[in-house]
Amino acid sequence: MDFLFVMDPVESMLPDKDTTFAFMRGAQARGHRCWFCFPYQVFAVSCAVASDATEVRVSDAAPHTTTGITRELRLSDLDVVFVRKDPPFDAQYLHLTQLLDLVSKSTLIVNSPRGLRDANEKLFALQFAEYIPRTLVTSSPTRIQEFLREIGGEGVLKPLDGAGGFGVVLLRLDDPNLSALIDLETLEGRQPALLQEYLPAVKGGDKRVLVLDGKILGAIRRVPRGNDIRANIHVGGTVEPAELNEVERDLVNAVGGVLRNSGLWFAGLDLIGERLIEINVTSPTGIQQLSKHLGRPVEQEVIAWAEAKKQTVCDR
């Protein structure tokens, strides 16, 4: 099979941490050919979608990535396209999904272009009100301060299009920088942001649960560094093994059904204290850490699933 990865530069991949690297390694191990391209390299002639793609091989030994020929590929001739471009979901990302829609009946797209458009990673969790902390989405600094009082004087403020912990700040009513932080996040009341109640359980870390086709692949615990409230691996969070309790499994299974119906085949759910914080669908990470803790190459399970799913969801 031919696998295309629409992504950031291959040189930016960390071979011992990056999930895209693991997917390429898993595809190679199962005898498949890997290609990569940037979002701007995807184009259409009438309704025929193609890309200027470069062949790539990965290795756990240096050099970790080796590129080969670059050629024009019709996406309808490919088997699987993994959309692994990091957020933000901007106009270029939007246009990419609209082009990929044109080949979704012939090629398996992970994740579904329509699902990616519909599922903002911060706002999508609002569909599951029974599982999330108390949450406010607004551009109004006044509403943010009022809600902060309602939830006990502490809250976590996030931009709606951030990733990897970027822009996440802890708000306290007694912080002399409170107004400045709110103005910064909301562009002085012109841009919405998300405020959630502070969950003290975050001191012990959050759980990243990886979900494939609505089913649980496994979970890891990400522990913040020092006094940082962010547990993201990208900002220095450490990783430990994790198990899910019955409450968490019920939560993930409920969300998993919606993910499956939306074509959001591979996703990462972030949980703190049995509450759902975010649903990551654009470029979820954590599979290498999960593989280490489980003692098996979980990425090959994803590739095996893609092989089978390709035959059931696409009409040749």
Which residues are identified as catalytic? Answer: 122, 158, 208, 222, 230, 270, 278, 280
Angstrom distance (rounded) from CA 221 to CA 1: 34
The three-state secondary structure class of 205 is coil
Residues in Cβ contact with 161 at an 8 Å cutoff, skipping those fewer than 6 apart: 87, 88, 89, 90, 120, 122
- List the structure tokens of 232: 């993201």
Q: Are 176 and 135 in contact (CB under 8 A)?
A: no
CB neighbours (10 Å) of residue 311? 10
The three-state secondary structure class of 76 is helix
The secondary structure element, H or E, covering residue 193 is: strand 193-197
Angstrom distance (rounded) from CA 269 to CA 204: 17
Pick the closest to residue 25 from 308, 210, 300, 302 (CA basis).
Answer: 300
Count of helices and strands (H, E) across the chain: 8, 16
Phi and psi dihedrals of 144, rounded to 5? -60, -45
